[in-house]
Amino acid sequence: MRRTAFFPISDVKAFKRALCRWTETFPVGLYLDSNSASSKADDSRKQSSAEPYWRQFRWECLAAVGVVSAVCAKSGSAFSQLRHFYEQHNDWIFGFLSYDLKNEVERLHSKHPDHLSFPDLYFFCPQVVVGIRASERMQVEIHALELSPAVLLKDILQCASLSNSSNSSRDIFLHPRMHRMKYLDAVAALREHIAAGDVYEVNLCQEFYAEEVKLDPVAVFERLKARTRAPFSAFLRWHDRYLICASPERFLAKRKERLFSQPMKGTRPRVSELQADLCIREMLRYSEKDRAENAMIVDLVRNDLARHCTPGSVVVEELFGVYTFETVHQMISTISGSLAPTEHPISALRDAFPMGSMTGAPKIRAMELIEQYECARRGLYSGSVGYFSPDRDFDFNVVIRSILYRADVGYVSCQVGSAIVYDSGAQQEYEECLIKLEALQRSLLS
């Protein structure tokens, strides 16, 4: 049984910084931050009954540390091992899924070099879970096995001024793995595949990287979080490998019997002048190209959910919603369905993975073309991090807008991408990648 205690806090921002730094002191730890997404939900409800994107945020932040038991698996039988682990533990479970699990879900392969070497799947039952509920911003709750919650709180607060000066570095500048002309050629080739009817849409990604560098992962995460305020931000330490994530996208969530997926397709940069920014937002809202991209993925997600949902229960709650974040405007749709009583949650998670927003449609052919035209293995990028709660609900993000760091060799990787359709202009798609890269690059500058 876990010991649970509640403590008042006076400064949520300061506590979250300390909690993230404390999480990093463990060999394995995961910190999730919604960046006050629930307050945005409250604002949306005052304005309109629509905008379902902001709903379903239960936690302001949530952290898990200390490995009581874990499952670490390669693609092949990973989801069955996760299902067995899930059945064994009626408790908190945290972890991640890598994109290369596609090779288990479908008959695919990954041939590109892997410079980061994260496991394909890793989940753990934590010794300690610490969180602030979205509705109770001035109270922290601690769920611990054996350890005293009061002592743990003291340990967390002592990390408030901690910094990892030994890992500090000079400014880190990223270099493209795929040169610009090769990217433009890949877009042209994919447009030919689309014209031939092989595929309707492909999410083409490219890697920007740096080698033999040192960084303070928490400091970089705090800078990235401040720039983006993304509602699915995540900081993961898995031994000497780190994920520094500012994702705005939910892959899949379960609330009681209801499943939710919220794919993003359509991006525009923010600008400082208010009227120009509003104009850009409205241009995205009525863009035929972006609506076509979004609609294709919505249809794909509907089909993915329908495989395990009660017939007739899958609905599109919002189509082509446009949401504003710190650095970008995004087009987001929300699809939900009721998980059938005879279906297992892990099966629903497996058969929706990888998420359609990061593959294209049809999904299998899109993934084959991704392997053909990209130059780097995606690994944890395009995967997902999240958690299962003791009530058997879950919430998983899409690992995008992320910095991946392997500390033992000093390798930093940032991948960015965009959806290629027949109407795509290669130069415009390349510029969209650079827009998504900008916040990541700036966060690597001290």
- The catalytic residue positions are 249, 265
CA geometry: angle at 253 spanning 334 and 202, to 5°? 55
* DSSP letter, residue 160: T
* DSSP letter, residue 339: B
Q: Give the bridge partners for 402, in sequence order.
A: 245
How far is residue 92's CA from residue 431's CA, in Å, rounded to a whole number?
41
Sign of the CA dihedral with 313 first, then 318, 320, and 322 last: negative
State which amino acid sits at residue 281.
R
How far is residue 378's CA from residue 362's CA, in Å, rounded to a whole number?
19
Q: Note whether 356 and 300 are within 8 A (CB).
A: yes
How far is residue 118's CA from residue 379's CA, in Å, rounded to a whole number?
7
Q: Note whether 93 and 388 are within 8 A (CB).
A: yes
Q: How big is the chain, counted in residues?
A: 446
- Structure tokens given for 187: 């877009």
Nearest-CA neighbor of 421 among 265, 190, 267, 198?
190
CA geometry: angle at 171 spanning 168 and 177, to 5°? 115
How far is residue 187's CA from residue 191's CA, in Å, rounded to a whole number?
6
Element (H, E) at 442: helix 426-443
Strands 328-338 and 93-97: unpaired
CA geometry: angle at 410 spanning 397 and 205, to 5°? 45
List C-alpha distances in Å: 50 to 46, 141, 284, 355, 440: 10, 31, 18, 24, 31
Residue found by looking up tokens 């270099």 in the block: 175
How far is residue 309's CA from residue 337's CA, in Å, rounded to a whole number?
6
- Structure tokens given for 57: 């945020």
Burial class (CB in 10 A: 0-12, 13-18, 19+), 394: buried
